[in-house]
Structure 1
């Protein structure tokens, strides 16, 4: 990691809003298409439009971009927001499978993709609420 990586937000490193939007769209496209993602797709509404928008706003803010999530939703409180869903290793792994595929398609810099993967893996692991 260089000094510029420390001072440059992940949002900027991955390519900003356009990349976040594409990343989230590819993520949910994979969730819809991959048999391995069936377990997490079932946790979502039939229409993914609203949740796509929420995740785009959340990831924009989470990666250091403009505050698009918290002014409307408040503190993310992710574990509390997901408490109604049984999330174990299988669900985490399905989520990461979709996200990693989406990152491969949208984040062109391998080092940046690795840093983002590390951060998202920690986030996904933190969401588990059952053994």
Structure 2
């Protein structure tokens, strides 16, 4: 049973997640800082994000049903995630928020704040000088 008070429900559910993912990943794949981290099949990466974000926002645990606990930091340790790359990731996400209207949605800032926290947790390497 879905929690009607979840951020997932409040932003519009899976339809909004799908639009956000579709707006976000083309930006990521075009970003020169991020492109080396995302060389796999974009459609498969988008599919996983479509499963993860609902769970992240208090909706159905789709990601865990297929892949087990998210453990996102551990899953990303093989990739060199620097503070600069985290900033680029957030910029791409902010642009995607604007494209799909989440920037002006009442819940948008809470959702984005959660992503800022995740980006910080994912950093596992220093920026190169």
The TM tier, using the shorter chain, reads 0.7 to 0.9
Cα distance in structure 1, aligned partners of 2:18 and 2:29 = 17
Cα distance in structure 2, aligned partners of 1:32 and 1:72 = 25
Name the structure 1 match of 2:27.
30
Gaps of 5+ in 1: 1-6
Name the structure 1 match of 2:39.
45
Name the structure 2 match of 1:120.
115
Q: TM-score, normalised by structure 1?
A: 0.86
The count of residues paired between Structure 1 and Structure 2 equals 122
* Structure 1 runs of 4+ with >2 Å offset: 108-111
Cα distance in structure 2, aligned partners of 1:71 and 1:42 = 29
Gaps of 5+ in 2: none
The reply to whether residue 105 of structure 1 matches residue 102 of structure 2 is no
Cα distance in structure 2, aligned partners of 1:108 and 1:117 = 9
Task: Tell me by how many angstroms 1:71 deviates.
Answer: 1.1
CA RMSD of aligned residues (A): 1.5
The reply to whether residue 90 of structure 1 matches residue 84 of structure 2 is yes
Q: TM-score, normalised by structure 2?
A: 0.87
Task: Tell me by how many angstroms 1:78 deviates.
Answer: 1.0
